[in-house]
Amino acid sequence: MTENSYSTITPEITNLSKLCLDNSSIDPSLYGKYDVKRGLRDINGKGVLTGLTEIAEVRSYITVDSEMIPCEGKLFYRGLDIEDIVNGFVSEKRFGFEETTYLLLFGKLPTKEELDSFNALLGHYRSLPTSFVRDIIMKAPSHDMMNTLARSVLTLYSYDDAADDISIPNVLRQCLQLIALFPQLSVYGYQAYKHYHDGQSLFIHSPDPNLSTAENILHLLRPDSKYTELEARILDIALVIHADHGGGNNSTFTTHVVSSSGTDTYSTIAASLGSLKGPKHGGANIKVIQMFDDMMEHVSDWTDEDEIKSYLSDLLNKKAFDKAGLIYGMGHAVYSISDPRARIFKGYVEKLSKAKGLDKEFALYSAVERLAPEVIAKERQIYKGVSANVDFYSGFVYRMLGLPMELYTPIFAIARIVGWSAHRLEELINEFFDITRFSLSHLALSKQEVNLSRMLEQLTYEFQPLLVEKELSWTLELAPNVRVLCDPDKLERVFDNLFRNAVHYSYGQTAIAVRLEQTGTQVAVRVENRGKTIPPEKLGQIFEQFFRLDSARGTTTGGAGLGLAIAKEIVELH
- Residues catalogued as catalytic: 281, 332, 391
Give the single-character DSSP code of 334: S
Give, rounded to a whole angstrom, the gap between the first and last alpha carbons of the chain: 73
Find all residues with CB under 8 Å of 83, minimum gap 6, and list them: 340, 343, 344
Exposed, middle or buried by CB within 10 Å (0-12, 13-18, 19+), for 147? middle
Cβ atoms of 207 and 126 closer than 8 Å: yes
Q: Return left, alpha or beta for 128; rule: phi > 0 is left, psi -120 to 50 is alpha, else beta.
A: beta
**The amino acid at 252:** T
Report strand pairing: 483-486 vs 448-451.
antiparallel
Cβ atoms of 73 and 340 closer than 8 Å: yes
Cβ atoms of 253 and 40 closer than 8 Å: yes
**The amino acid at 213:** T
Cβ atoms of 514 and 526 closer than 8 Å: yes
Q: Count CA atoms within 13 Å of residue 573 on its CB side.
A: 22
CA proximity to 562, closest of 512, 500, 489, 472? 500
Rounded distance between C-alpha atoms, residue 333 and residue 48, angstroms: 11
Helix axes of 97-106 and 112-125: crossing angle, nearest 10 degrees: 100
Continuous H helices in 260-389: 265-277, 284-298, 305-316, 340-355, 359-379
Rounded distance between C-alpha atoms, residue 529 and residue 499, angstroms: 10
Cβ atoms of 566 and 493 closer than 8 Å: yes
Give the single-character DSSP code of 224: T
Q: Which residues pair with 290 in a beta bridge?
A: none
CA proximity to 100, closest of 186, 179, 177, 184? 179
CA proximity to 188, closest of 142, 120, 123, 156? 142
Give the single-character DSSP code of 449: E
CA proximity to 506, closest of 459, 557, 456? 557
Cα torsion through 25, 31, 36, 38, rounded to 10: 60
> Residue-wise over 211-224: b if at least 16 C-beta within 10 A, else e?
bbbbbbbbbbbbee
Helix axes of 284-298 and 359-379: crossing angle, nearest 10 degrees: 100
